[in-house]
Structure 1
């Protein structure tokens, strides 16, 4: 435990505050870690998040699966006991992943919940300010911030955990983008089954490179989040997402008359890059910037929860080495899958459909979470196209990592999307 009580001290012409830990960024990763630290008593925490205005992200949707309500059940907007995949031939496969359920959290509800818990804790505090610089200083680290109105603040801590997006992605052997646009729709009549979430619906036109699918999360018989998603090298331009969503909602889903109540859009990097978890003696990266996004799926929220618990446990026990969010074996398997998709050696829609068809649902979800044993992973691997996957596995270790420039003006989501 590195605990002590947070306190404020006077500085020359500015305010200087100290706490055990400063968390930069109030998204899923930053707030989850702050909550775990104060919940376990591992450290006093100050969370720095942008003030209201253009610097704050729009409301986001995070989805995950687990076997219970978890610590954030109050923020869960909806959950589904059944999952469905539509193959490229139109066939539907519905699976029951019990005891797991698929859950949706909206960022606004999550933020309200964690903010309230931090406010009730003597070791937690929230600062609305723009973090300008983060650097090591003797005995810890320093975060210089600008508060609303232009006032300068200096925060000092034993450790800083920074969840802000990276300015550029590290070199990688393969880099795809998961890019999507979603509509929250309300139909004129009941069109959805609130018990079933459609994870992948491949009944959409497929791009020349990569794969595309629909994604439907029912919120009520007449309400749902409906998305069009692609895994490819670059996002779409112009009104292409709107056209794709229009085709999917009207021609594939047959929703009839409906109203779009709101929309969300994002880009999530899917890459086998090595994300540096430590950028100074006392400065660490967390969230997507620290490699929490699962490279082959884009899922982040569940990994952030596991990683936050692990970091809190390490600090409580007196360690300052941050554990990785994913194991090496899981990352290698993801690197192989990304390479196989990018080279076209496997057909993406067929691959994912067969994976759900041939693997027990609960085991598959554990595999996607990196929680399976080597024996279980071997069994799942034998249910994939063995030849192309084996060839790719032998090739990947010898490929050189290189810089993949981001496309112009991507919509940042830092991995915190519905995936």
Structure 2
């Protein structure tokens, strides 16, 4: 068996971002680090978007930014100026390539193409078994997502943010690439929370993503039929599909921190770093990995990394409402965007809002369902 100070399982956003931060910090120069993943070059398997106030550390690899967003529903629709925020897009191939360039310069960081079979925590270390070998780590960071850990419990509802997206190119200049369609709930809801998400890259190219917040996934063709119908309604009939993507992101207030231990920390989606009420992960991962690198310089017990937050309870109540009244999601979001300032919404969803700003968001949504959910949880 080969011994390492740190082993990172998975080279997706969270695993690579953690390794990248370690590569840039001299504190880790004398630490042996191993990254294990079946694939090193994953290509454009993901599109990450996030809002950010001003300049950010990933601006040099952005594909596109928007300073305006469109929100649409039967009850409220508006083009919203979000400055000084910008809505930012990163394609995963640019992200992977850029981070790996920095990581590969460090002789103390090794990448292993292999498949993890299991890992076991012993008294003073963790043993990792792969298809082709066995390894030992003082600390293990696991980003391999195992849905069974939370899907079998009944205490916290589990929804999915599930979607299929088409990158399309048109001959005519159809798109206003200054505005991103954040949520368009004018699509048929069919008893769920459903919306179209549109990111125009230029006048001829855009990502159309049919998205649901619900418990059950659809058949693949149902997503695609919805995209075709949406395009046809807007007179977009002559187009070429350049790429397709699909995904299902868990939305749950399950306490992932209870899976951590002294020597094992779950990160990314596996660690509950996905914002439970929205499915957004990238910006939270950036903040969490930065905090984790600082934590490792002073602490030895990984179970102490997680900090309790008021936002966990907010997400819990929100998901209770959305799980039990999924058909009311469009009205809920419409009320929020109609009554609250978008900058306050962004701060709230980024878990950076004050108590006063929290109150503004709470007062912007229909109270009945949330009061019911609150007292049900309370008692």
| TM-score, length basis structure 2 | 0.91
Contact preservation (8 Å) 1:311, 1:323:
no
CA drift of 1:277 comes to 5.3
Relative to structure 1, is the Cα distance of residues 234 and 158 closer, same or farther in structure 2, using a 3 angstrom cutoff?
same
Structure number with higher helix proportion: 2
Q: Give the one of 151, 154, 157 matched to 2:137.
A: 157
Gaps of 5+ in 2: none
CA drift of 1:221 comes to 0.7
Matching residue of 2:276: 295
CA drift of 1:57 comes to 8.6
Matching residue of 1:20: 5
Matched ranges for 1:145-294 at <5 A: 145-146=130-131, 152-170=132-150, 171=153, 172-208=155-191, 210-251=192-233, 253-276=234-257, 278-294=259-275
In terms of mean alpha carbon deviation, does 282-291 or 39-48 score higher? 39-48
Matching residue of 2:53: 67
Matched ranges for 1:12-411 at <5 A: 16-43=1-28, 44=31, 45-51=33-39, 59-89=45-75, 92-146=77-131, 152-170=132-150, 171=153, 172-208=155-191, 210-251=192-233, 253-276=234-257, 278-321=259-302, 327-344=308-325, 347-398=328-379
CA drift of 1:345 comes to 8.4
Contact preservation (8 Å) 1:326, 1:370:
no
Contact preservation (8 Å) 1:23, 1:161:
yes
CA drift of 1:69 comes to 4.2
CA drift of 1:364 comes to 0.9
| TM-score, length basis structure 1 | 0.83
CA drift of 1:231 comes to 1.4
Relative to structure 1, is the Cα distance of residues 160 and 277 closer, same or farther in structure 2, using a 3 angstrom cutoff?
farther
Relative to structure 1, is the Cα distance of residues 227 and 120 closer, same or farther in structure 2, using a 3 angstrom cutoff?
same
Relative to structure 1, is the Cα distance of residues 86 and 34 closer, same or farther in structure 2, using a 3 angstrom cutoff?
same
In terms of mean alpha carbon deviation, does 159-168 or 273-282 score higher? 273-282
CA drift of 1:138 comes to 4.8
CA drift of 1:388 comes to 2.4
Contact preservation (8 Å) 1:303, 1:325:
no
Contact preservation (8 Å) 2:175, 2:206:
yes
CA drift of 1:20 comes to 2.0
Give aligned pairs, total. Answer: 373
Aligned equivalents of 1:65, 1:127: Cα separation in 2: 33
Contact preservation (8 Å) 2:176, 2:200:
yes
Aligned equivalents of 1:348, 1:324: Cα separation in 2: 33
Partner of 1:380, secondary structure, is helix
Relative to structure 1, is the Cα distance of residues 345 and 195 closer, same or farther in structure 2, using a 3 angstrom cutoff?
closer
Relative to structure 1, is the Cα distance of residues 329 and 61 closer, same or farther in structure 2, using a 3 angstrom cutoff?
same
Contact preservation (8 Å) 2:160, 2:216:
yes
CA drift of 1:338 comes to 1.3
CA RMSD of aligned residues (A): 2.2
Higher relative contact order (CA 8 A, sep 6+): 1
Contact preservation (8 Å) 1:346, 1:388:
no
Relative to structure 1, is the Cα distance of residues 306 and 133 closer, same or farther in structure 2, using a 3 angstrom cutoff?
same
CA drift of 1:82 comes to 1.1
Relative to structure 1, is the Cα distance of residues 325 and 216 closer, same or farther in structure 2, using a 3 angstrom cutoff?
farther
Relative to structure 1, is the Cα distance of residues 352 and 323 closer, same or farther in structure 2, using a 3 angstrom cutoff?
farther
Partner of 2:212, secondary structure, is strand
Contact preservation (8 Å) 2:292, 2:305:
no
CA drift of 1:88 comes to 2.1
In terms of mean alpha carbon deviation, does 368-377 or 16-25 score higher? 16-25
In terms of mean alpha carbon deviation, does 347-356 or 191-200 score higher? 347-356
Aligned equivalents of 2:326, 2:194: Cα separation in 1: 16
Partner of 1:220, secondary structure, is coil
